[in-house]
Chain A
Amino acid sequence: MMLYFALSPLAVVGGGALLLMMVEALSRRSNGLAMGTTMVFAAGLALSAGVWLYGVEDIPGLEALAPWIVIDRFTLFFDGLLCLAGMLASLLAGGYLPEHKMNRGEFYSLLLFATFGGMMLAASTDALTLFLGLETLSIGAYAMTAFRRTSARSAEGALKYFLLGSFAAAILLYGFALLYGATGHTDLAGIGGAIKSGTKYPVMTVMALVLIIVGLAFKVSAVPFHMWTPDAYEGAPTPATTFMAVAVKAGAFAMMLRVLLTCFGDAKFMSWSSGWPPALATIAVMTMTVANLIAGRQESVKRMLAYSSIAHAGYILVGVVGTMRSGSQASASVLFYLLTYTVSTAGAFGALILCGRRGAESVSYEDLAGIGRRHPAAALPFALFLISLAGIPPTAGFFGKWFIFRSAMDGGLYWLTIIAFINSVIGAYYYLRVLVYMYMREPAAGAPIAVPMKSGYVNAALLISAILVIVLGLTPGSSLDVAVKAAGVFGG
């Protein structure tokens, strides 16, 4: 019985998705679907918190799930995080889709199914379940990207996302197939054990590691495997972009931590001389630098935020590299960063949605000119989220970066920390540029003046994100404790 309690966050999101699909098919109106979806996510979030507080270690019978999935604090953290991300995306969709005449109910089912896939991904401890979770997450995200059926940009973004996403999945799977050949296991713990005790096929193991890192880098959209990201993010309807930027990225990083630390977590593969950290550090440096330099040149705020999400993947990768020496302190900083990044990014996209209306969606810097004085209620939250993304105190983003940098310093990765720090200074430029346009520029003569849309859903999403950004920025301690406990499952 307690086993079902432990599985309840997954069950409520999966069951909710099926239920909403039926409701959508039977009812003619789809106005309440956003609210229903939000409620399902809220229930998932509450149940994750409930299982967490009850103490997942005390629940008997969880070993029945082995080796396929595991319900531990790491899983529960990501269950909660993904439900929060899904909730914010569904609230934004509740305002955005009717405003832009796309209010079809399938979006909410796709959102729930994709989130379920992400939760599955965080829970899985076998290559098979990992793959199923990844596909469930990705297929939902592809379909949501292509949701604006009349727009060639939407279809084009979805096509690029789909092609590179499937390519990455194939590479990742070939890596796991080689690992299966080298170790005889598909469960991550078994692979890890076999690698630790030395396999007969070291060359195949290293090839598998390379393929898996490439596949994972595609999924977290790290440079040089990021080409799909700006196009998919720009083409997709903004709530789908939000979901991709926060939930898909969180799921991908959960997978990365689980795979690297369980399969390749032995002393040899975690070392600087013979393991994955130097490869990942190189990817991190490229990701931060390239993304920040290109982001500064964008004319579209939506595309700038896409590059900003790539840059943030770079900072998170610094934390992943830090696990080499700082162990669970570094993985905890990754989890905390994902939390701060989720609320700031979802808020920023939400504010961008709020600044536009039917037929006049705000996408470029020019669109936002002068909005600060005319519509402070839309500009103020936008400013808050951008400050948080830039990492300026006292917001959530500051402590996210602080903990990542500190754990990297503790691991002796000074040069990496310095590069990351320089990059976050460069990053501040393009975030603050939005503020300059909003507060210090007037729209060009004759140009249309942006009028914010009115939607309780979007306002609610912004309110939730804003509260979390401020609370995490003022009192990061308790959430950091949660992240530390969640990262504790990897030991060290």
Chain B
Amino acid sequence: MIPVEFYVALSFVLFLIGGVGFLARRNVIVTLMSIEIMLNAVNLALVAFNRGMTDNHTGQIFAFFLIAAEAAEVAVGLAIVLSLFRLRRSVRTDEADLLRN
């Protein structure tokens, strides 16, 4: 059986990849995917931690709630991206520069 620590390490790596991707990439779609990777890291961590606990299943249930709520969040996010694309013909965050100091 693969030890829990391996999963936790993987989830940590995923979280970092997602975080770096969010900060470094300029394409909104890739940025959204990076956030999804971070959230999947959360899911993986929750489920992995749950395996070491015999008295509850909160981690697994939490992961289901997360998946559902994130789907709703991304639906709104993509709608915003679409509406910006219709107006600016671009999905790059560095070209979204109408608002600044």
> Which residues of A are at the interface with B, using a C-beta cutoff of 8 A?
127-128, 131-132, 135, 138-139, 142-143, 146, 149-153, 155-160, 162-163, 166-167, 169-171, 173-174, 177-178, 180-181, 184-186, 230-231, 234-235, 294, 297-298, 303
Contacting pair A152 B35 (CB below 8 A): no
Residues of B within 8 A of A158 (CB): 80, 83-84
Contacting pair A162 B80 (CB below 8 A): yes
Name 23 A/B residue pairs within 8 A (Cβ), A-sorted.
A128-B58, A135-B69, A139-B73, A139-B76, A142-B76, A143-B76, A146-B79, A153-B99, A155-B88, A156-B84, A156-B98, A159-B81, A170-B35, A170-B42, A171-B38, A174-B45, A177-B49, A178-B45, A180-B62, A181-B48, A184-B55, A184-B56, A297-B101
B1-44 residues with Cβ-Cβ distance < 8 A to A are: 8, 11, 15, 18-19, 22, 28, 31-32, 35, 38-39, 41-42
CA of A170 to CA of B43, assembled, Å: 10
Contacting pair B28 A131 (CB below 8 A): no
- Find the A residue at minimum CB distance from B74: A166
CA of A230 to CA of B100, assembled, Å: 8
Residues of B within 8 A of A230 (CB): 99, 101
- The residue that B8 contacts in the complex, of A150, A166, A181, with Cβ under 8 A, is A181
**Closest CB of chain A to B27's CB: distance in Å?**
12
CA of A173 to CA of B19, assembled, Å: 13
- Find the A residue at minimum CB distance from B43: A177
Q: Is B67 an interface residue (CB 8 A)?
A: no
Interface size on B, residues (CB 8 A): 46
Contacting pair B84 A180 (CB below 8 A): no
Given A155-B80, A170-B35: A177 in contact with B99 (beta carbons within 8 A): no
Contacting pair A174 B15 (CB below 8 A): yes
- Find the B residue at minimum CB distance from A154: B83
CA of A173 to CA of B37, assembled, Å: 13
- The residue that B28 contacts in the complex, of A132, A138, A163, A181, with Cβ under 8 A, is A163
**Closest CB of chain A to B43's CB: distance in Å?**
8
- Find the A residue at minimum CB distance from B34: A167
Given A132-B69, A162-B76, A298-B101: A170 in contact with B39 (beta carbons within 8 A): yes
Given A135-B73, A181-B8, A230-B101: A152 in contact with B49 (beta carbons within 8 A): no
Please give me the 3 A-B residue pairs with the lowest Cβ-Cβ distance, nearest first. Answer: A181-B49, A155-B84, A170-B38
Given A139-B72, A156-B99, A170-B38: A180 in contact with B46 (beta carbons within 8 A): yes
Residues of B within 8 A of A135 (CB): 69, 72-73
Given A128-B62, A146-B83, A180-B49: A174 in contact with B41 (beta carbons within 8 A): yes
**Closest CB of chain A to B26's CB: distance in Å?**
11
- The residue that A170 contacts in the complex, of B18, B59, B81, with Cβ under 8 A, is B18
